[in-house]
Structure 1
């Protein structure tokens, strides 16, 4: 069991330099493993959806049996990049420049260098830190506007709609000039000692990146047959013989090796493992092809569960299981385009009992599985129905390692420590979640206000009122809009949202600035 007094002098100096305050009674630093699935719905886990879930997930069910399952847990957004920002910073994404949508191809870093992340937080206290997986939060790509056309496929002379997937010498030269150099602004710029992964698996560059460099130089276009049909979604440069099926197994293999190696060192470690699955590309390996007897997405969920099992087994074999805190969750709900209706026709409901899917401000867009295992602290097989957010991971880890967050970090993060220890009182009385278009919903206890007449995302369905008010206790499916019956409640919650925006935080502390003028939907 590691004890912090090994590092007292060095860590004390770091804490002062980085403006964090260490609690005197904190004596143990557990290893921390955060596993973030991509587009995995609340109902895709058997544990969360026993009656209407048809996909076997034995490894995640085992993790749930060993820890605490949260039933009212949420990602900041119903899509990818904003939720990742919020999880890593403890701050709502809409306080940043990302008011809607996701970080685009070759966009600048969303996390600024002065922003404390969960990795930077624990690194100050002597932790080894690594990110293995999908980043999708921007880099300082050395690609200017004039060069960007060289990343697109070429039109052929046969016809305007015909495209050539053969790279020209000019394109290869441009790609070489970019990918032969370091790429700044990624994970190693915001607190991670080490990174390995693919920035976005369905976007170029189609290669692995290690720390701040690509592994190999992309020299050809990804083959046309790998585009569309829930595989890669954007043409672009790839390394030779790039296999989409290899991504997930390689990430989990690297994660297992990192755990094994890090467990042999004196310092505790934090591993952030943002998986690329079961998001598209639905690149299922042969052993799992057709295994679910449902559809390809369901096969990929099963393969994802198996690969997570490899990581969990590595923790067990490392000898550090009893001193490792594991958090598992998903960045948003299941994407409807993977055949969600087909699955529902066969009896599997990827959003469980909730309305909507990925992109939507309805519950199916952002209510996600959230499981915490921490032997000796969290009771095995326990459940919490309290409202929690992924932004709460930051304050929770600060509590775990015994430090106080500065006022300009984790502005929306509430510690879950009391819940993990079995207390059943709320740790937060409000929360904000957003759709892909940036439409916000506000939670206050059992009440939920949506500042739009529809989903705010891809799912059709409009209320006959401009805004929606639901009581999730009596109407978890968000079927009955109560805004005309309770107009005072709606106004109260509008004012709450405005206060949260203006104060720059939802936790107690000094008022903070948002990075930009927040878009209002009031």
Structure 2
């Protein structure tokens, strides 16, 4: 198991390296794996069973953060937070994810990570999974619906451009999919669907497991193959890096992977390679894919001036072969409780490794508490500039930690959100959880949540609820969480507004909160 380091790290940095403003602007590459557990990099947990040689090499070359978290335990809200520097529960989306054909979650006028970097002279690209909504053209508009995937059987015009996606939210270029397990089953380049989904989707059991059978008959490209998605995205990302190597401008690449999220469809070279289960094969292919992108950076001669960040959107999925992994002795969540979707640590604690040769000490680690919303503020510090006064409400820089320094402005608290809309509030070693009051979400709607308190430093598995023993701490942390929600921002110098009414003492009645007056 990877051991956290306490306080400052010993880093060999000369004074000239500490001023990012004096350096040529570095390229920034963020690799975001999908449903990749905190325990899935073997270098961090050597006793685990899935080989990850490419990511193991990255760990040796960079700094690993042992207390890194996604803002949410599921896909869409984490992606929103990473790209905007704002917790997604501040939007109207209070649970689950963007469904098929729902509209953009990121407002057109909101500051975004790629938009900020464009203002600093960067070329920006998103390759992979978007899953943040589009304005799909058709006889009806894309709408926020309470029924999950309530629009997938409606008619849509795939011959027309789709707006509100990556190229309208700060990216110069996009190639990828909305997500691999929802229609339409085809690729999208910039704002165009290509190839056209003129066929009807038919799941092929030979491709893998956890296929989206519920969408049989949905629009699909002719001869659409699920197993070809990740290899094609990898080729595109490598090609983009090779093209940018010949350019003068710095670039930002957001490589948003589709694996090991379902459908679990390892391509032929990886089938059976783990000897454990298809999902373990897919984890190995995820490692390979990330490795191809990092190798492309090095082979293009860009390694010394490129910041590479590898992380994941949430914990490992529990329905794609979890029992097979546990039986084989592989613990996707390491020593932590829970998995994808959970308010527990296994739902939102994620691996995060940063490589920046000559600037970040190779083979080091940090126990600084960080959230994926912090990538935006950290990049601003890295460039020697400041974030705009508005936007990026929940982005706090961890640049001092990359330099091996302590900072008074470092994050000491974080809010995490579950698939069901449950809240967890971390304050130092303490974690306050407001979980569902009943056994399932539907029975809990409108009812009081249940507060539980854990001390992670002495109880990393979250086994001992201390709320009755420390009622004063529960009261103080509840008040602090309420204040953070009401202020609309985590940044100490900023006050903002949430888009809807945010509740944590009761379970929300609606997936989409009403617009706040």
TM-score by length of 2: 0.87
Match of 2:36?
Answer: 40
Query: Would the alpha carbon gap of residues 127 and 275 (structure 1) be closer, same or farther in structure 2, given more than 3 Å must change?
Result: same
* Mapped partners of 2:39, 2:141: distance in 1: 45
Is this contact kept in 1: 2:50–2:280, CA < 8 A?
yes
Kindly indicate whether the alpha-carbon contact (under 8 Å) linking 1:504 and 1:513 is maintained by their aligned counterparts in 2: yes
CA contact (8 A) 1:386 1:425 kept: no
Which residue is equivalent to 1:379?
361
Aligned length: 471
Alpha-carbon distance in 2 for matches of 1:25, 1:279:
38
Deviation larger for 448-457 or 251-260: 448-457
Matched with 1:290 is: 272
Partner residue in 2 for 1:70: 65
Indicate conservation of the 8 Å contact 2:196/2:221, yes or no.
Answer: yes
Determine which of 44, 61, 74 is the counterpart of 2:56: 61
Which of 165, 174, 190 is matched with 1:186 structurally? 165
Deviations 1:156-186 (A, max 9, x none): xxxxxxxxxxxxxxx9xx55xx111100000
Picking from 28, 46, 50, the partner of 1:50 is 46
Is 2:486 the counterpart of 1:502?
Answer: yes
449-458 or 426-435: bigger deviation:
449-458
Higher helix share: 1
How far the C-alpha of 1:149 sits from its partner, in A, is 9.1
CA contact (8 A) 2:50 2:284 kept: yes
Aligned counterpart, 1:3: none
Larger Rg: 1
User: Unpaired runs of 5+ in structure 2?
Assistant: 1-18, 143-148, 442-448, 507-517
Contact 2:393 2:494 (8 Å CA) reproduced: no
Return the offset for 1:466. 2.6
- Report if the CA contact (8 A) 2:422-2:504 is conserved: no
Cα distance in structure 2, aligned partners of 1:24 and 1:57: 32
Distance in 1 (CA, whole Å) between partners of 2:423 and 2:504 is 9
CA contact (8 A) 1:361 1:455 kept: no
Q: Cα–Cα, structure 1 residues 31 and 150, in superposed 2: closer, same or farther, change >3 Å?
A: closer
- Distance in 1 (CA, whole Å) between partners of 2:372 and 2:455 is 22
CA–CA separation in structure 2 for the residues paired with 1:149 and 1:338: 24
> Runs of at least 4 residues of structure 1 off by over 6 A?
146-150, 454-458
| Structure 2 contact 343–417 (Cα < 8 Å) conserved | yes
CA contact (8 A) 2:90 2:499 kept: yes
Uncovered stretches (5+) of structure 1, i.e. residues with no partner: 1-22, 153-170, 459-464
Aligned to 2:117: 122
Are 1:231 and 2:211 an aligned pair? yes
Deviates more, 1:284-293 or 1:231-240: 231-240
- Kept in 2, the 8 Å contact 1:398–1:405? The answer is yes
Q: Could you say what secondary structure the match of 2:378 adopts?
A: helix
Query: In the TM superposition, what whole-angstrom CA distance separates every residue of 1:19-52 from its partner, at most 9, and x where no partner exists?
Result: xxxx99454210000000000001111022122x
Q: CA deviation at 1:517?
A: 1.6
- State the match for 2:103 in structure 1: 108
Q: Does structure 2 retain, via aligned residues, the 8 Å contact 1:30–1:325?
A: yes
Structure 2 distance, partners of 1:383, 1:301, is 23
**Does the CA contact (< 8 Å) of 1:81 and 1:136 recur in 2?**
yes
Mapping 1:24-39, distance limit 5 Å: 25-39=21-35
Is the alpha carbon distance of 1:467 and 1:331 closer, same or farther for their aligned partners in structure 2, counting shifts above 3 Å? Answer: same
Q: In structure 1, the residue corresponding to 2:186 is in which secondary structure?
A: coil
CA distances 1:96-128 after superposition (whole Å, capped 9, x unpaired): 111111011101100011111110011001100
| Alpha-carbon contact 2:336-2:346 (below 8 Å) kept | yes
1:198 aligns with 2:198: no
Higher mean C-alpha deviation, range 127-136 or range 302-311: 302-311
Retained in 1: the 8 A contact 2:208–2:264? no
Match in the other structure for 2:513 = none
Matched residue, 1:318: 300
Q: How does 1:237-316 map to 2 (within 5 A)?
A: 237-316=219-298
Q: Does 1:95 align with 2:90?
A: yes
Distance 2:20 2:406 in 1: 27
C-alpha distance in 1, partners of 2:21/2:280? Answer: 46
Q: Using the alignment, how far apart are the partners of 2:269 and 2:486 within structure 1? A: 52
- Residue 207 in 1 paired to residue 186 in 2? yes
Q: CA deviation at 1:519?
A: 2.4
What is the alpha-carbon distance in structure 2 between the residues aligned to residue 424 and residue 417 of structure 1? 10
1:390 lines up with 2:353 in the alignment: no
Does the CA contact (< 8 Å) of 2:415 and 2:423 recur in 1?
yes
How far is the alpha carbon of 1:409 from its aligned partner? 1.6
Match of 2:471 in 1: 487
Cα 1:135/1:370, change in 2 over 3 Å: same
